[in-house]
A = this chain, B = another copy of it.
Amino acid sequence: MGTPAGFTLGELAATLGAKLEGDPGRRVTGVAPLEAAGPEEISFLIDARYRPAAETSKAGALLVAESMSGLPGPLLRSSSPQQALIALLTLFHPVTTPPPGVDPSAIVARDAKIDPSASIGAMAVIGSGAVIGPRVLVHPLVYVGPDVEVGEASVLHPRVVLCEGVRLGRRVTVQAGAVIGGDGFGYVFDGGGHRKIPQVGSVVIEDDVDIGANTTIDRAMLGRTLIGRGTKIDNLVQVGHNVEIGEHSIIVAQVGISGSCRLGRGVIAAGQVGFADHLTVGDGAVLGAQAGVSEDVPAGERRLGAPALPILQAKRIFAAQKQLPDMSRRLRHAERRLAELETRLGIAPSEPSETGSADDRA
């Protein structure tokens, strides 16, 4: 079995644990999106939004959920179609890894320890005392600073920077251009200028974490910045000094997390969310895109808006805001009607007090 020859639908059904409706001898040579797939390719329908594209697709077969009905043509039905898709893509696109060893153009400090099964790419720089574990891939132009540790089977894409003393667990993937362990942003104004507080802590990245392209994770002032096991961080995210993120959280692109925040386990922060400093965000909290989180968030709570509010409240406010110009007009109209009634009843119309009372800000 190999990609050029492809796989029969029977082979795929067996490998993916899927139920085949169609000819088990039919052969497909690649995976393609619904619109682009031809009769020699397999495609998939997992997100129901794409059903119309599935109905007109020329794909030779479709991977679908067990319950999907009404689609023609050969189908591979899976009880966990997303997992099956991962298997399918991996089958047709096996990861190729460079051979182990150190590229002759790399600069490796004499006292760095490189596992013989690791691969160090062209022009990479490995600092003094660094430890590179088994089967680690260090792509070209990567900088691994002094005393950095990179755990087994981790992958550093081109041009990643790991500053002095940073520790990565096993199976950590860092996309190109990310900077881990830059100085935190801490200053004290001494009357003449901002004096920098030395940032002498470190960064610890636990197992199975992914970090996106050009993302920045600052070292702690003292102690450590911590990214918990299994957490996935997207591109261009900023993680400030002394932040701790729990396990299996999801941080989408361009999120900014200010210093000393504690995010729990399974937190989801959608794109462009900002967290003020020193906040505690409980396990499983969900922050909607562009939320401005300015206070602690209890576990499991969903927040939206800037400043972020509980999601139902935020949505009710968004809805009411649309009525606001209309409300303004209706309020003026009501005031005129009141004045008319007061006139009829011989009551002197009163003006609202000019100075706001305490509850004006409630």
Contact with B along A162-202 (1 / 0, CB 8 A): 01000000000101110100110101111001111110100
Q: How far is the CA of A173 from the CA of B163 in the complex (A)?
A: 15
Q: Which of A13-42 contact B (CB under 8 A)?
A: 31-33, 36
Task: Give the docked Cα–Cα distance between A159 and B160 (Å).
Answer: 9
A249 smallest CB distance to B (angstroms):
9
The size bracket of the interface on A is 35 or more
Task: Give Cα A37 to B280, complex, Å.
Answer: 22
Determine if B222 and A33 form an interchain contact, defined as CB atoms under 8 angstroms apart: yes
20 A-B interface contacts by CB (under 8 A)? A83-B190, A85-B197, A89-B198, A123-B125, A125-B141, A141-B143, A157-B161, A157-B182, A177-B214, A185-B234, A193-B230, A214-B216, A216-B253, A258-B271, A325-B361, A327-B327, A327-B331, A329-B360, A341-B341, A341-B342
Q: Does A232 contact B (CB under 8 A)?
A: yes
- Report A196-252 residues with CB < 8 Å from chain B CB: 196-198, 200, 208, 210, 212-214, 216, 218, 221-223, 230, 232, 234-236, 238, 240, 248, 250, 252
Residues of B within 8 A of A198 (CB): 86, 89-90, 93
Which chain B positions have C-beta within 8 A of A110? none
Question: CA of A334 to CA of B350 in the docked complex: distance in angstroms?
Answer: 10
Instruction: Select A185's contact among B190, B253, B323, beta carbons within 8 Å.
Output: B253
Residues of B with C-beta under 8 A to A157: 161, 163, 182
A347 lies within 8 A of chain B by Cβ: yes
Q: A216 touching B193 by the CB < 8 A rule?
A: no
| Cβ-based interface call for A117 (8 A) | no
Q: A238-B271, A309-B322, A331-B334 are in contact. List 14 more A-B contacts (CB 8 A).
A: A32-B222, A86-B196, A90-B198, A92-B200, A175-B183, A177-B182, A182-B235, A185-B212, A185-B253, A213-B216, A253-B258, A290-B290, A307-B318, A316-B361
